[in-house]
Amino acid sequence: MHYQPKSDLLNHRIILVTGASDGIGREAALTYARYGAEVILMGRNADKLQQVAQAINQLNQCPAHTVVFDLADATPERCHQIGEQLAQQFPRLDGVLHNAGILGEIVPLAELDPQIWQEVMNINLDATFFLTQALLPLLLKSDAGSLVFTTSSVGRTGRAGWGAYAVSKFATEGMMQVLADEYKTHSLRVNCINPGGTRTKMRASAFPQEDANKLKTPADLMPLYLYLMGDDSRRKTGISFDAQPGRKPGAAE
Ligand code: NDP
């Protein structure tokens, strides 16, 4: 995407990023902070989150906040509590990037361990839904809230072996569409990003034989991640965007 945001694009914006400790989420959190946002980093690993917070604090922009939360432990009650705690600290949320996710196992559905199915659905889908419900009141306090889910090309066309991960991403696309329709007359916009094959640890576990140097880095994707959090995307809702338009799904050639 050829998008050149203004350097103050996200000034006065408060943005929460899940899975902010690594990969694409880490890069998005750093990028949002660089463009002026006050960032809330959510993740399960306190040390890794702290390192990202330190990197953000060295930018001399808004200091970062951290919320240590393992999405495997997400229940509606726990997410509601987190929403309440955030409401005591922050007047609103202008953006939420649901980025955290797990791959599970790459095996045919017939062989997929039902426990892995449940873990993937818990983290990629249920936790995302519980957290969304809990954060909606804060998002609706923004005059231009942006709710962004993370999808995948296997969440649009099924692919053999991609099991629960693919199904969870189809459901994520569905959740985005339903919410976008529910809030179409409101200032809240709801969209998905498909990052496309990107150099991260999740990608390396899915394609261990691949030459990672042929893949885009998380930093390469950031124009779209910025676009969807800033004012230039204000009236865009219900859309599943590609961070790498035209990229053929599958291993890098
Ligand atoms: P990474 O595995 O590099 O990072 C995943 C992030 O999610 C990490 O911060 C990880 O935390 C966090 N996370 C995982 N499980 C939990 C949990 N139980 N509770 C809280 N946080 C958790 O993945 P990517 O950056 O590659 O992926 C980011 C998103 O992009 C995912 O939704 C993925 O499905 C999607 N995507 C990625 C593609 C790619 O090629 N990389 C392609 C298409 C979609 P920790 O640091 O503790 O492990």
Q: How far apart are CA 95 and CA 146, in angstroms?
A: 5
Q: Which of 3, 2, 9 is nearest to 31 (CA)?
A: 9
Point out the ligand 1 atom lying closest to the alpha carbon of residue 215.
Answer: 40
Ligand 1 geometric centre to CA of 103 (Å) = 8
Q: Count CA within 13 A, CB hemisphere, residue 213.
A: 0
The yes/no answer to whether this complex scores an ipTM above 0.90 is: yes
- Distance in Å, CA 102 to ligand 1 centroid: 6
Residue nearest to atom 12 of ligand 1 (CA): 19
Alpha helices (H) along 106-239: 114-120, 127-139, 163-182, 201-206, 218-229
Which residue in the block uniquely carries the two structure tokens 């990202």? 52
DSSP state of 60: T
Q: pLDDT tens per residue, the chain (253 residues)?
A: 789 999 999 999 999 999 999 999 999 999 999 999 999 999 999 999 999 999 999 998 899 999 999 999 999 999 999 999 999 999 999 999 999 999 999 999 999 999 999 999 999 999 999 999 999 999 999 999 999 999 999 999 999 999 999 999 999 999 999 999 999 999 999 999 999 999 999 999 999 999 999 999 999 999 999 999 999 999 999 999 999 998 888 887 6
Alpha-carbon span 56 to 43, nearest angstrom: 15
pTM, 2 dp: 0.98
Query: Is 165 a residue of the active site?
Result: yes
Rounded CA-CA distance 56/27 in Å is 10
